[in-house]
Structure 1
Amino acid sequence: MNDILGEQYVFDKKGNPTAVILPIEEYERILSALEESGNFSDTELLSKSPEFLKLVRRGLDDIRSGRVRHWKEVWDEL
């Protein structure tokens, strides 16, 4: 998993994701995009959506279980 995604997630002893590590450039890009939009309501709405949280949990479970592929591999199949 780490070969594909790099060490981007921090897990507790029980295997629950607790944090995401981003390169500073990516973090700054995200902040800049949010500041430019001036509208944080979409982000707030998504964070409260049970369906969105379900999708995030499913994605994290896929990562923990190794059900991931490098984006280049997927792109080459298209």
Structure 2
Amino acid sequence: MPHIADEQYIFDKKGSPVAVIIPIEEYKKFLSVLEEIGYQSETELLSQSPEFAKLVRSGLEDIRSGRTRHWREVWDEI
């Protein structure tokens, strides 16, 4: 397995690094971690949103009050 020291950099004409070449498996791991962080961030943002909390409370009240319908019934109307 290659180490960070094995990565290869691409430089522009001024000598500034502009890209890095890494093994595909490392890239896939990196994407997986970013995806996981993204989902966690989205969940955290929603949990802190007063609007979202209001929608959840409203939905739960609809369930308790019997103001729901089976999804098949709604689907048939579409």
TM, length-normalised to structure 2: 0.53
Cα distance in 2, alignment partners of residues 37 and 77 from structure 1: 36
Q: Does 1:54 align with 2:61?
A: no
Matched residue count: 44
CA RMSD of aligned residues (A): 1.7
C-alpha distance 73-46 of structure 1, shift in aligned 2 (>3 A): same
Partners of 2:62 and 2:35 in 1: how far apart? Answer: 31
Q: Deviations over 1:16-72 (max 9, x none)?
A: xxxxxxxxxxxxxxxxxxx88312100000000000000000000000000000000
TM-score, scaled to structure 1 = 0.53
SS of the residue 1:51 aligns to: helix
List runs of 5+ in structure 2 lacking aligned partners. 1-32
Residue of structure 2 in register with 1:25 after alignment:
none
